[in-house]
């Protein structure tokens, strides 16, 4: 009968300087009910604040501001893959007349402020009237649903 030879090295060194971001993590992709349940969860205060301060930069946003917004989304949904993130986010614009709403296109890294009556991209247009509702801070737009988020992070799901 063969017996395995076990070598032990007492002088083996372990590198403790490796940060968690340097370690490749394997995640199980959420699908179906698990994904639905995760997307219904209350949003964090940090995430809501990051998205709602979009108007603070004025009409134009710097690359750094857009990167901060993308990082806020990634931090809020660490267990999701990028294609499971919202297509975009739309909210009431507080820059004043003539602006009505603004959008963040997550895929293209574009922040756009829209004037009253100006056409929105087709995927975002269905959320425009909901974004103007005073009870919601912003609307996350997904391919099959809208998720209206209140200032305290509660999420209402709107199908279609």
| Local mean pLDDT, 10-residue blocks, the chain (160 residues) | 46 40 53 90 94 68 77 90 89 89 80 89 91 95 94 92
Q: What pLDDT score does 126 carry?
A: 92
Q: What pLDDT score does 46 carry?
A: 93
Q: What pLDDT score does 22 carry?
A: 43
Q: How far apart are CA 92 and CA 139, in angstroms?
A: 9
Under 8 Å between Cβ of 119 and 126 = no
Longest Cα pair distance anywhere in the chain, in angstroms?
Answer: 85
112: how many CB neighbours lie within 10 A of its CB? Answer: 18
């Amino acid at each position: 009968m063969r017996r395995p030879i076990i070598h032990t090295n007492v002088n083996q060194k372990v590198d403790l300087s490796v940060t968690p971001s340097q370690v490749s993590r394997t995640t199980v992709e959420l699908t179906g009910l698990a994904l639905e349940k995760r997307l219904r969860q209350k949003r964090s205060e940090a995430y809501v604040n990051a998205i709602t301060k979009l108007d603070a930069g004025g009409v134009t946003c710097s690359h750094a501001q857009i990167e901060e917004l993308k990082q806020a989304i990634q931090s809020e949904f660490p267990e999701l893959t990028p294609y499971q993130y919202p297509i975009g986010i739309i909210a009431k614009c507080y820059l004043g007349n003539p602006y009505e709403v603004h959008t963040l296109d997550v895929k293209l890294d574009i922040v756009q402020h829209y004037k009253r009556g100006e056409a929105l991209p087709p995927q975002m247009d269905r959320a425009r009237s909901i974004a103007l509702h005073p009870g919601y801070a912003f609307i996350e737009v997904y391919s099959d649903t809208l998720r209206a988020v209140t200032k305290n992070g509660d999420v209402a799901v709107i199908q279609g």
